Amino acid sequence: MGGHQDLERLAASARAALVREIELSGAWASDPVWREAFASVPRHLFVPYYYVGVRGGYERRWGEHPDPAARERWVLGAYADAPLATRLRDGELLSSSSQPSLMAMMLAQLGVTDGSRVLEIGAGTGYNAALLAHRLGDDDLVTTVDLDPEITESARRHLAAAGYHPAVVTGDGARGVPERAPFDRIIATCTLPTIPPAWVAQCRPGGRILTPLATGLVLLTIRDAGHAEGRFLHTPAFFVPLRGTGRTEPERAGLGGVPRRAREDDLFRFLLALSPGSLDPQEAYALWEREGAPRRERYGITVRGERAWAWLDDPEGPYAWPFT
- Comparing C-alpha atoms, which of 160, 156, 136 is closest to residue 144? 156
Model-wide pTM > 0.85: yes
What pLDDT digit, counting tens, does each position of 111-156 carry? 999 999 999 999 999 999 999 999 999 999 999 999 999 999 999 9
Single-letter code of the amino acid located at 223: R
Q: Is 69 exposed, middle or buried (0-12, 13-18, 19+ CB in 10 A)?
A: exposed
Are residues 192 and 323 in contact, defined by beta-carbon separation less than 8 angstroms?
no
Residue 277 binned pLDDT confidence (cut-offs 50, 70, 90):
confident
Helix, strand, coil in percent for the chain, rounding step 5: 40, 25, 35
Q: Is 252 exposed, middle or buried (0-12, 13-18, 19+ CB in 10 A)?
A: middle
Q: Above 90 in pLDDT, residue 265?
A: yes
Which is higher by pLDDT, 249 or 284? Answer: 284
Q: What is the pLDDT of residue 248?
A: 44
- Segment 35-41 mean pLDDT: 97
Single-letter code of the amino acid located at 289: E
Q: Which domains does the chain have, with CATH numbers?
A: 4-232 (3.40.50.150), 255-322 (no CATH)
Question: Which of 40, 95, 98, 275 is the catalytic position?
Answer: 95
What pLDDT digit, counting tens, does each position of 54-96 carry? 887 888 999 999 999 999 999 999 999 999 999 888 777 778 8
Q: Is 256 exposed, middle or buried (0-12, 13-18, 19+ CB in 10 A)?
A: exposed
Q: What is the pLDDT of residue 244?
A: 57
As a whole number of angstroms, the distance between CA 220 and CA 213 comes to: 12
Counting residues of the chain whose pLDDT is more than 70, the rounded percentage is: 95
Q: What is the pLDDT of residue 58?
A: 84
* Catalytic residue list contains 30: no
Q: Which residues contact 251 (CB under 8 A, 6 or more apart)?
A: none
What pLDDT digit, counting tens, does each position of 237-255 carry? 988 888 655 544 444 556 7
